[in-house]
Amino acid sequence: MQLKRAFITGIGGFIGSHLAKKMSEVGYEVYGSYFRPTSDVEMVKPYAVKTYNIDVRYKPHLKEALEEVGPDVVYHMAAQSYPMESFKAPSYTMETNVLGTLNLFESLLELGLKSTRVMLASSTAAYGFIDPSETPVKENQPFRPAHVYGVSKATQDLLGFTYFSSYGLDIIRLRIGNCVGPGRKGEVVSDFTYRRAAIELGMTEPVFRVGNLHTKRAFLDVRDAVDCFLSLEKHGRSGEAYNVSGEKPCSIKELLDIVLEGCPVKVKIVVDKNLVREKDEPIYWNDLSKVKDEAGFVQKFSLRQTVEDMVRWWRENLKK
CA–CA separation, 126 and 24 (whole Å): 30
H/E stretch holding 123 reads strand 117-123
User: What's the half-sphere exposure (Cβ side, CA atoms, 13 Å) at 220?
Assistant: 28
pLDDT at 279: 63
Domain with CATH 3.40.50.720 in the chain: 5-179+220-244
CA–CA separation, 125 and 156 (whole Å): 12
Pick the CATH number of 181-217+248-283+301-318 from 3.90.25.10, 3.40.50.720, 1.10.10.60, 3.40.50.2300: 3.90.25.10
For domain 5-179+220-244, give the fold: Rossmann fold (3.40.50)
CA–CA separation, 289 and 240 (whole Å): 14
Picking from 25, 57, 67, 20, the residue whose alpha carbon sits closest to that of residue 42 is 20
Domain with CATH 3.90.25.10 in the chain: 181-217+248-283+301-318
pLDDT in tens, 185-226: 989 999 999 999 999 999 999 999 998 899 999 999 999 999
CA–CA separation, 77 and 101 (whole Å): 10
pLDDT in tens, 246-274: 999 999 999 999 999 999 999 999 988 87
Strands 250-251 and 216-217, how do they pair?
A: antiparallel
The strands making up 216-217's β-sheet, listed across from edge to edge, are 250-251, 216-217, 283-284
pLDDT at 251: 96
pLDDT at 40: 76
Q: What's the pTM?
A: 0.95
Residues of the chain with pLDDT under 50: none
